[in-house]
Structure 1
Amino acid sequence: MIVELSHEFLRKEILKVGAHPASLEIFERKAQIIPLKIFNISSPTANVIKQEMLSLGGDVVVHKNVVDCKIEKSDVILLGTKKHYELFIKKLENNKYFEIPLVLQELKEYLLKQKPEKIVSPWGRVLNLSRTLVMGIINVTPDSFYSGSRKMQINEVLKTVEDMVINGVDIIDIGGQSTRPGAEPVSIDEEMSRVIPAIESIRKSYPDVVISVDTYYSKVAELAVDRGADMINDISAFRFDNDLVKIVAKYKVPYILMHMKGTPKDMQKNPYYDDVVREIMEFFEERINYAKENGVDPEKIIVDPGIGFGKRYEDNLEIMARLKEFKSLRKPILIGASRKSFIGKALSDLPPEERLEGTLGITALCVLNDVDIVRVHDVKENKRVIKVLEEIKCIRSSSL
C-alpha cells in the first residue's frame, strides 16, 4: 500500500515512522516544491538563474527562446524546496551579473517577510489574525444591492449590531453610500450625516467592538476615527480623494486597500484583463508603495481583491480559485463576496435574497485558504461555517 501524505500531517507521520525529532526540520525543508514566479527578467539573467538552480537539483521554467537570447525578457518560474532556495540565495550572493542582485534582493525579502500577527487600531483595539475574522456589513443607505443590509434608522442599526455581537462578529463595517454597479456617488455631507451618528451610537453602546468605516472621503474618515472608528475600508485605494492617505498616515489607522477598475458607476462596463491575478497584484504593489511613500504604516494595510468591482464572472471565479497567490504580498487579505452577483450566476441567476448558501460556500473556501477577513451580511451563518472549519484546521496545525 502507498499513501501520498498531506503536507500538513508530514511531521506527525515522520514521527510515527520513528525518525529522530532533530531530523524533522531537515526533512520538512526537502518535502515540498514551492513554485515562485518572477516577472520580466532579461534573457541573460534568466539563463544564469536556470543554470544555478539546476546545479542544486531544482528547476526553472523560462520562455523557449531564452536559451539563445532571441527574446529580450521572460517571466521565470522557480521550482525548489526550502532547502533549494536557501542554497540558491547563497549562490546568487556571489554573482553580480545582469539583474541578479535585484532578483536576490526580492527573493530574500519574499522568503523572510511575514504577514503581521495582529493589527492595532488608534484606540488600542486589536485584530488578532490567527483565524478568519468576520466583518459584518451595515449599510445606512436606501439603495444597497441587498435590501437586508439597509439600516437607515439608528434603532435598526443598534439592533443589527446587537445580533451581530451576540453571534460573534469581529468587525462592524458601516457604509454611507452604495457602491453597487451603476451607483451614483453621494456628497460628503450626505455620507457624513449617515455614518457618523451610526458610529457614535455603536461606540456608545458597544465600547469594545471594532468599527470600520466604508468611505473614500478623507473628511468622513477623519471624523469617523475621531468618533471612535478603528479602521478605514476604501474601495478607491486612495485614488478618489488625495487627502485620505494623509488621514491614514496621521492617525496610524488600519486601512483596507481594494482593487477596482473605474468607479462604481462605470466599473462593469466591459471590464477586461489579460491576466487578472497578475494585474491585481501589480496594482497592489504600486498602491502599497504609494501608501508607504506617504507615511502609511505598511504593517496596517489589508488588501481586498475587490470581488465584483470591475470584474467579469470568470475573473471573480479565478480570483477565488487562486486566493493563496495573494498571500505572496505578506498582507492580511479581506474577501467581500457576500450575496454578490457572481454567486447568483453560479446558482442559475438567483437574486441576492437567495444567495446565502452560495456565500457560505465562498466563506468555507476562504477559511481553507487562510483568508484573514470575510465581509458578510449574515454573521451567524458565516460564523458557524468558520467555527467548524477552524476546528478542523486546529487538527492540521497541531500536527505541524
Structure 2
Amino acid sequence: MLLEISPEFFRAEMERVKAHPASFPIFERKSRIILLKIYGVPSPGANILKQEMLSLGGDAVVHKNAVECKVPESDVILLGTRKHYEALIKKLEIANYFGLTRVRKALKDYLERRKAEYIDSPWGRRIAFGRTLVMGIINVTPDSFYSGSRKQDLKEILKTASYMVESGADIIDVGGLSTRPGSDPVTEEEELARVLPAVKAIRESFPQIPISVDTYRAEVARRSLQAGADIINDISGFMFDENLVKVAAEFRAPLVLMHIKGTPKDMQKDPHYDDVVREIAEYFLERMEFAEAAGVDPDKIILDPGIGFGKQYQHNLEIMVRLEEFKSLKKPLLIGASRKTFIGKALGDVPPEERLEGTLAVTALCVMKGVDIVRVHDVKENRRVVDLLEAVKCQGRS
C-alpha cells in the first residue's frame, strides 16, 4: 500500500515510522516546496538564479525572453525547499552583481524573520497568536452598514460586550465612525462622545478583555488609550491623520494597519489594480517603514488587507484565496470580512442580515490559512467555527 501523507501530519507520521527525533527538523526543511516571487531582477541575474536553483535540485520560473536577455529584467518565481534556499543564499554571497545582492538579502530576511508570538498592550494585556483569535465588533454609531452591530445606549453596549465575552471573544473592537462605502465622517467631537463612554464602561466591567478602537484620528486614539483601550485599529494606515503614528509610538500600542484605496466616500468608485496582492503588499511595506521611522515598535504591527475597502468583488475573492501570501511579511494578519458585500454577492445578492453562513465560511477559510484574527459581528457562531477547526488542526501537531 502507498499513501500520500498530509503535510500537517508529516511529524506525526515520522513518529510512527520511529525515526530519530533529532532528524525531524532536517526532514521538515526538505519536505515543503515554498514558492517565492522576486520582482524586477535584471535578466542576467534571473538566469543565474535559474541555473543555481537547478544545480541545487530546485527550479525557477523566468520571463520567456530572459535567457537571451531580450528583456532588461524579469520577475522570478523560485521553487524550492527551505534547504534549497539556505544553500542558494550561501552561493549568492559572492555574487554581488546583476541585482543578486538584493535577492540574497531578501531571501535571508524571509528565512530569519519570525512573526511575533504575542503582543502586549500598554496596560500589560497580552494578545497571543497561538490560534485564530475572534475580535467582536461593537459599533457605537447609528449608521454602520449592518444594523445588528449598532449599539448606542450604554446599557445595550455593556449587554453586548458581556455576551461577546461569554461567547468567547478574544478582543472587543469599538468604533464610533462609520466607514461604510459612501459615508461622510462625523466630527471628532461626535466620535469622542460616542467612543469614550463605551471604552470606559467596557473596561470597568471587563478588566481583562483587550479593547480595540476603530479610528483613524489621533486624538480619539489617544484619549481611548488613556481610558484603557489596548489597540489602535486604523483603516487608513496613517494616511488620514499622520499624527496618529505619534500616538502609537508614544503609547507603544499594538496597531492594526489596514489597506484602503481612496476614502470611505469614494473608495468603491471603480477601484483598479494591476496586481491586487502585490499592490497591497507594497503598500504595507511602505506604511510599515513610515511607522517604524516614527518610532512604532515593528513587533506591534498587525496587517489587514482591507476587504471591501476600495476593492471590487473579484479583488476580495482573490485576496481571500491568496491570504497565505501576506504571511510572507511575517506580521500577524487580521481579516474583517463579516457580513460584507462580497459575501452577499457570492450568495446571490442577499442583504447583510442574511450573510451569517457566508461569514462563517470565510472564517473557516481564514482559520485553515492561519489568519491570526477574524473581526466579526457574531462572536458565538464564529467562535464555534474557530474552535472546531483549531481542534482539527491540532491533530497534526505533536
Q: TM-score, normalised by structure 2?
A: 0.98
1:151 CA drift (Å): 0.5
Aligned letter for 2:319? Answer: I
CA distance in 2, matches of 1:185, 1:259: 18
Q: Counterpart in 1 of 2:298?
A: 298
Q: Counterpart in 1 of 2:266?
A: 266
Q: Counterpart in 2 of 1:107?
A: 107
RMSD: 1.0
Q: Counterpart in 2 of 1:149?
A: 149
Q: Counterpart in 1 of 2:176?
A: 176
- Residue 232 of structure 1 aligns to a residue whose secondary structure is strand
1:223 CA drift (Å): 0.5
Comparing 114-123 with 11-20, greater Cα deviation is found at 11-20
CA distance in 1, matches of 2:54, 2:167: 53
Question: Are 2:11 and 1:11 equivalent residues in the alignment?
Answer: yes
CA distance in 2, matches of 1:220, 1:232: 10
Q: Counterpart in 2 of 1:211?
A: 211
1:22 CA drift (Å): 3.3
CA contact (8 A) 2:46 2:76 kept: yes
Comparing 14-23 with 95-104, greater Cα deviation is found at 14-23
CA contact (8 A) 2:360 2:385 kept: yes
CA distance in 1, matches of 2:210, 2:84: 43
Q: Counterpart in 2 of 1:61?
A: 61
CA deviation vs aligned residue, 1:58-98 (integer Å, no higher than 9, x gap): 11110011111110111111111121111111111122222
1:23 CA drift (Å): 3.0
| Aligned length, in residue pairs | 398
Aligned letter for 1:11? Answer: R
CA contact (8 A) 2:335 2:373 kept: yes
CA deviation vs aligned residue, 1:273-294 (integer Å, no higher than 9, x gap): 1111111111111111111111
- Residue 397 of structure 1 aligns to a residue whose secondary structure is coil
Matches within 5 A, 1:298-377: 298-377=298-377
Q: Counterpart in 2 of 1:231?
A: 231
1:18 CA drift (Å): 4.0
1:202 CA drift (Å): 0.9
Q: Percent identity among equivalent residues?
A: 64
1:214 CA drift (Å): 0.5
CA distance in 2, matches of 1:328, 1:384: 28
Matches within 5 A, 1:85-164: 85-164=85-164
Aligned letter for 1:35? Answer: L
Q: Counterpart in 2 of 1:42?
A: 42
- Residue 36 of structure 2 aligns to a residue whose secondary structure is strand
Structure 2 unaligned regions, length at least 5: none
CA distance in 1, matches of 2:307, 2:192: 26
1:12 CA drift (Å): 2.2
Aligned letter for 2:213? Answer: V
- Residue 342 of structure 2 aligns to a residue whose secondary structure is helix
Comparing 90-99 with 16-25, greater Cα deviation is found at 16-25
1:353 CA drift (Å): 0.5
CA distance in 1, matches of 2:121, 2:26: 39
Q: Counterpart in 2 of 1:73?
A: 73
- Residue 77 of structure 2 aligns to a residue whose secondary structure is strand
In the TM superposition, structure 1's runs of 4+ consecutive aligned residues that sit over 4 Å from their partners are none
- Residue 75 of structure 1 aligns to a residue whose secondary structure is strand
- Residue 138 of structure 1 aligns to a residue whose secondary structure is strand
